[in-house]
Amino acid sequence: MTPANRRGSNFSSSSGKPKGGNRTYSSRRRKNSNLEERRRSFKSKAEELNSQKSLKNSFTESNQSLQTYSSRRNSRNKNNFSSETQNSFRRTEHKNNSTKFVESKDRNQLVSSNRGRSSRHGSFDSSYAETSSETFNNERDVNDIFWGRHSTQAILESGRPLHRIWCTPELRTSSKFLQLLKDSKALGVLVEEVSWARLGHITKGGVHQGIALQTAASETLDLSTLIKGCSDLGEFPVLLALDGLTDPHNVGAIVRSAEAFGAHGLILPQRRSAGLTGSVAKVAAGALEHLPVARVVNLNRSLEELKKFGYRIIGLAEEGENILNEIDVEGPLVIVIGSEGKGLSVLTRRTCDQLVRIPLRGVTSSLNASVATSIFLYEIASKGWMKGMSGQAASPKLVRAKLSN
């Protein structure tokens, strides 16, 4: 075969291109396209795997940060709880120490130092302190804070044992209080000058009028001591008994009216009654230092005991059968006042010898407990019941003077 023939067998005679070239070129293109598709698919899968790995890493990091935050918060709460526990323990320990200090040292020192107190403050009788060893304010039997010019002046002038006095700079303009503060400081009482806002914080928002003091809790008598003090006074004694009266403002107003009208004493139950706190003393405006107060465990049992000594028990009640201005009572008297909401209890009503109501003409069907007590006391004073024997009314101070003898 000649070379021309051989060439002609492999190439086309017209174009000179190799035979079968189109098929080879298209198959190569298909192979290249398949490779590109595979490459792109591998690349997309790789990117997907990388994104999944990054998501997993970010999730792991977030979990780790959350665990770290939780552990830090728990440790911080634990530290706060331990510090609060320690502070609570310190406050309890400080309170117990102050209680022991007051009971063992301050009270004895201040009572002994005030026994010889005279002149402006008057004499302090130790026998009255001995008979008044019980405190009234239930568990609050260590210290009480009193505020207001009238109540603090009465305490300062009575010679009552004091622990501390707070006053504002404005109080120095009062010559009366300035002298009282000097006398108290001479007796060893701590006198501290504070701002008006600080004094408001000490009194827990009370209307302090620039002065507050800390003293032993209000001391009370037992019933037998009060009965003994009211005997042989030359007049019929009048006592007030409170049944379930828990509002300190009402109790303070009743104390003020009772002392002003010349009542000889107040009877308070141990439970279901407001204590003789600073709020009561503030409303009483100094009358609490002059009115003897007896503390009893069971009011109705005490009323029965008073009946044995000739006392007549009269209860103030809205549904009372007797009208105040129509009754006529002779002899010793006990006026029982109930709470505004419930009034006298059922057992107290049965114990009373007589239930008396105040006639009202208006739409209002009841009066405030302290207002009703004042009206009752005025009616008694106008009829002369408190001076039925001698013709001259005695002061509650005579009861305390008799108790000191």
Any idea where the domains of the chain sit in the sequence? 22-114, 143-216, 221-404
pLDDT band at 306 (very low <50, low <70, confident <90, very high): very high
Is the per-residue pLDDT at 112 higher than 50?
no
- Which CATH number is correct for 143-216, 2.40.50.140, 3.40.50.1000, 3.30.1330.30, 1.10.260.40? 3.30.1330.30
In terms of C-beta distances under 8 Å and separation of at least 24 residues, what long-range contacts does 170-176 make, across chains too? 170/196, 170/210, 171/210, 171/211
> What is the pLDDT at residue 77?
56
Tokens encoding 35: 């490779």
Q: Which residues contact residue 176 at a Cβ distance below 8 angstroms, ignoring those fewer than 6 apart?
A: 153
Distance, C-alpha 102 to centroid of its chain: 22
For 333-364, what is the HEC assignment? EEEEEEECCCECCHHHHHHCCEEEECCCCCCC
Sign of the torsion formed by the C-alpha atoms of 245, 302, 155 and 276: negative
Half-sphere exposure of 187 (CA within 13 A, CB side): 28
Please report where in the chains the tokens 């006074």 appear, as a residue: 233
* Residue whose C-alpha is closest to residue 291's, from 321, 320, 315, 259: 259
pLDDT given for residue 150 in this prediction: 78
Rg (CA), the chain: 45
Cα-to-chain-centroid distance, residue 44: 73
Res. 314 pLDDT band, cuts 50 70 90: very high
Q: What is the pLDDT of residues 30-82, one digit of tens each?
A: 667 777 777 777 777 777 777 766 766 666 766 666 677 666 666 665 555 45
Third-level CATH fold of 221-404: Alpha/beta knot (3.40.1280)
Residue 143's closest CA among 89, 93, 107, 190? 107
Cα dihedral sign, 34-40-44-47: positive
Q: Above 80 in pLDDT, residue 6?
A: no
Cα(54)–Cα(186) distance, integer angstroms: 81
Q: What is the pLDDT of residue 124?
A: 29
Asked if residue 232 has pLDDT above 70, the reply is yes
Most trustworthy range by pLDDT among 20-29, 216-225, 330-339: 330-339
Is pLDDT above 60 for 8?
no
Q: What crossing angle do the helices spanning 369-383 and 248-261 adopt, rounded to 10°?
A: 10
With a cut of 70, say whether residue 373 has pLDDT above it: yes
Give the confidence band of 7 by pLDDT, cuts at 50, 70, 90: very low
Q: What is the pLDDT of residues 167-202, one digit of tens each?
A: 888 777 777 777 787 777 777 777 888 888 888 888
Of 67-81, 82-96, 143-157, 336-350, the poorest mean pLDDT is in: 82-96
Would you say how long the chain is, in residues? Answer: 405
User: What pLDDT was estimated at residue 29?
Assistant: 67
How far apart CA 375 and CA 353 sit, in angstroms, is: 20
In a 10 Å sphere around its CB, with 0-12 CB exposed, 13-18 middle and 19+ buried, how is residue 338 labelled? buried
Round to whole Å and give the CA distance between 219 and 132: 5
* φ, ψ dihedrals at 47, nearest 5°: -65, -40
Compute the average pLDDT of residues 114-127: 32
What's the pLDDT at 185?
A: 76
Q: Flag the least confident range among 152-156, 305-309, 367-371, 377-381.
A: 152-156
User: Tell me, what's the pLDDT at 301?
Assistant: 92
Res 378 pLDDT > 80: yes
For the ranges 3-7, 149-153, 320-324, the maximum mean pLDDT occurs at 320-324
What is the distance, to the nearest Å, from the Cα of residue 71 to the centroid of all Cα atoms in its chain?
Answer: 38
> What is the predicted pLDDT for the residue at 164?
81
pLDDT of residue 303: 94
Whole-model pTM over 0.75: no
